[in-house]
Structure 1
Amino acid sequence: MTPDPDSFLALARSSPWRWTTLHLAHRSGFAGACEAWIRRPGALLVRDSEGRWHRESGLPYTRGTLMVFTAEGTPPPDPVPEHTSVLPHQIAPPLRADGLVEWRPERLDLDYDDPMYTNYSWVAMLDPVELSHHVAVDRLRTDVVADRPAWRADLRALPGYDPRCGGNCCELLYSEAGMRADLDEDEEVPPSWRGRSYPDHYDVALDVQTGVVVRCLPVGGPDDAPWLENDILEVDADLDDLFDGPGTS
């Protein structure tokens, strides 16, 4: 299939429905070099460059509890039911003719995120929905990354870019638009941040089978701009023995 910009954006929003387990070799400025295994929903094992194992599970954030107090003599309200998560694979999204997701269901009880390692860029690379809108897609082409088909393009974040974690913290596309996603008023921007230098664009490759970001490399800009690379080694392999067996805790 020859991609066009719309299909690239659709692939970026499709990851939750395109794979269940993943084994990859990762390199980035934020996590260094490591090997990772992900089993959806909610299980992650990472072996870092020194051979240490890290196990993460669940969502990369917590939920608050609402407590209601009433005046004396007033009947208390019905108890608030505990939150019950709905996972993406339990919902069938509307699909395009090419099998990619047309739009993602949005519900308060629907939890998309995979477990986090180091920072939210990890979460975003596994489900790069932030690249599915408010980005300019240029020089789109097919490519091969780690012996796997990929769609590759030059991406620029546009006003309205909505990263998983913005404010120049963990967005995939380090940019003025990424900063403004969390700091939209001029007075909110620290003086030392004003006039920051950013990459001209990012060279981004998405793995066609999974929708995962396999290359996200800054072009131009500061030498310390965020970057990441993933080499996908296995998709949908049986990882139960690895996660449930001894020796990786």
Structure 2
Amino acid sequence: MGRMGAELSLTEDTFRALARSSPWRFSALHFTWRRPTDGDVECWLRRPGRLRVRDAGSDRAVDEKVTDPVPEPVLRADGLVASRPRAYTHEIDDPMWQNYVFVSMLDPEELSADVVLSDLRSEPRAGRETWWARAVPGEGYEPRCGCCPLLWSRVSDWFEYGDGAPGWEPPAGTVYPEAYDIGLDVATGIVVQLTPVGGSRPDLAFETTIHEAEMSVASA
């Protein structure tokens, strides 16, 4: 894409635009993914379709042999994505490791709409410019995969397990987070930290440490 955009200023609108921009902001990424239930996982991603994953027990590679280029989105004046081609007409997702939370971490489009954002702030993380927000999924929240959303909630379970039917109730004892604190790396657009606020599942949290990135956007 390589378009030089204006200097980015954090607003609710630009946070949402950054959340939908990742597929067009970088071409390769070396990072470590960390979750409370797993050890560190070191990853090398090269778009499109190539992923190498190394954990304590194995070293695996995925090559999806993608031949068609990712189509160009509609850009805003600042270089972020205003609207993107639909996933059902073009394959945009990166390779999956374990579940779709990993894919959504790399491309958090689901945070760009029907999510209430508050406490917006810009604070560096691991020496990189990072935008933070507290996020609460709204009734129209659409995760990439209902069984493993970024924002596990009554809304996501209602659509996944209750088919959106009136009167559905979660299993007894289910305690959903009140919100999520989320950090987006400004250069790449990926989620570098997600922390549930309250709830009964601390395993939902994760951190992503970026070691190196090859950028697609000149201003990133």
TM-score class normalised by the smaller sequence: 0.7 to 0.9
Matched, 1:8 2:34: no
How far, CA to CA, are the matches of 2:33 and 2:88 in structure 1?
Answer: 31
Task: Choose the corresponding residue for 2:142, options 162, 167, 179.
Answer: 162
Report what 2:64 is aligned to: 58
Unaligned ranges ≥5, structure 1: 60-83, 238-249
How many residues are paired up? 206
Structure 1 residue aligned with 2:75: 95
Letter in 1 for 2:16: L
**Gap change, CA 1:105 and 1:37, over 3 Å in 2:** same
Post-superposition offset of 1:13: 0.3
Aligned to 2:3: none
Root-mean-square deviation (CA), in Å? 2.2
Equivalent residue for 1:193?
Answer: 171
Give the SS at the match of 1:3: coil
Alignment-derived partner of residue 137 in structure 1: 117
Q: Deviations over 1:155-202 (max 9, x none)?
A: 011111110111xx2100111111123231257x5x662562111100
SS of 2:93's equivalent?
Answer: coil
Cα deviation, 1:120-145, whole Å, max 9, x if unaligned, reads 10011001001110100100000111
Give the whole-Å Cα distance in 2 for the aligned partners of 1:107 and 1:231: 27
Q: Could you state the TM-score of these two structures normalised by the residue count of structure 1?
A: 0.76
The letter of the residue matching 1:55 is: A
**C-alpha contact 1:38 1:44 (8 A) present in aligned 2:** yes
Equivalent-residue separation in structure 2 for 1:99 and 1:32 (angstroms): 36
Contact 1:206/1:215 (8 A) holds in 2: yes
Cα distance in structure 1, aligned partners of 2:172 and 2:158 = 11
What TM-score does the superposition give when structure 2 sets the normalisation length?
0.86
- Could you tell me the percent identity over the aligned residues? 42
Deviation, 1:58, is: 2.4
Instruction: For 2:89 and 2:67, locate their aligned partners in 1 and report how far apart those are by CA, in whole Å.
Output: 5
**Where has structure 1 moved over 6 Å in runs of 4 or more?**
none
Secondary structure, counterpart of 1:144 in structure 2: coil
SS at match of 1:10: helix
Change (3 A) 1:163 1:19: same
- SS in structure 1 of the partner of residue 124 of structure 2: strand
Distance 1:56 1:186, change over 3 A: farther
Q: Report if aligned partners of 1:11, 1:208 keep a CA contact under 8 Å in 2.
A: yes
- Seen in structure 2, the aligned counterparts of structure 1 residues 107 and 225 have a Cα distance that, compared at 3 Å, is closer
Q: 1:161, 1:181 within 8 Å by CA — same for their partners in 2?
A: no
Structure 1 segment 75-154 matched on structure 2, within 5 A:
86-88=68-70, 91-106=71-86, 108-154=88-134
